[in-house]
Amino acid sequence: MYIKPDHVVSSSQQLREHYAMPHEIVVKKQIDFLAPYGQKLISMSPFFVLATVGKNGVDASPKGGYPGFVKTVGEKTLLIPDYAGNNRLDGLQNIIDNPQVGLTFLVPGYNETFRVNGKATISIDPSLCEFFTDTGKKVKCVIVVNIEEAFIHCGQAISLAKLWDSESQTNKDKAPTLDEIIQFHTGRETA
């Protein structure tokens, strides 16, 4: 596909000329702490995406657990358990390279998302890891996020995707199976 150079947006000024200025409320909704509604949404969320950037590029990792598996500590700190997984460590390595992170929390059935941006640290402090013993799974480390920005994000994307509508979930049987995907990447049959 050829992208015509005269249609490429390459400056902030060009970008702003293409879009209207954001409404005042959209700007004012961004705060530098967790308001009570933000703490409540995080406590209801069983899923979020963690975005990181490091020397090897960008990573957006899905994270899930029971509702409220991410703990809030006051208005400025989040504690995120990290369990053993595929051991790629893309996001964790990125945090070491660059502590800036972005998180987008989803609450099933709720169209708005809740966004948090801040700086992360990785801790293997046993007392922090033991804070998450209620899952029965061993926590490998805890990602501690110091909040710099927090805000609700309009539900347009979820509404357009009809993410929570049962009719939109009917194609899952047509998706490739995990076995098919693994077979493609490994070149051998799986058991």
Is residue 141 within 8 Å of residue 92, measured between CB atoms? yes
CA distance 107 to 164: 10
Please report the pLDDT score of residue 190 as a whole number. Answer: 47
| CA–CA separation, 55 and 186 (whole Å) | 27
C-alpha to C-alpha distance for 46 and 160, rounded to whole angstroms: 21
Q: What is the pLDDT of residue 59?
A: 95
Say what the pLDDT of residue 27 is: 66
pTM for the full model?
Answer: 0.86
Residue pair 135/69 in contact (Cβ under 8 Å)? The answer is yes
Task: Report pLDDT for 139.
Answer: 92
Rounded to a whole number of angstroms, the CA Rg of the chain reads 20
All residues at 6 or more sequence positions from 11 whose CB lies less than 8 Å from its CB, including other chains: none
Average pLDDT of each block of 10 consecutive residues along the chain (191 residues)?
A: 83 77 70 94 97 94 94 96 88 96 97 97 94 84 97 91 85 83 76 47
Q: What is the pLDDT of residue 84?
A: 82
Q: What is the pLDDT of residue 191?
A: 47
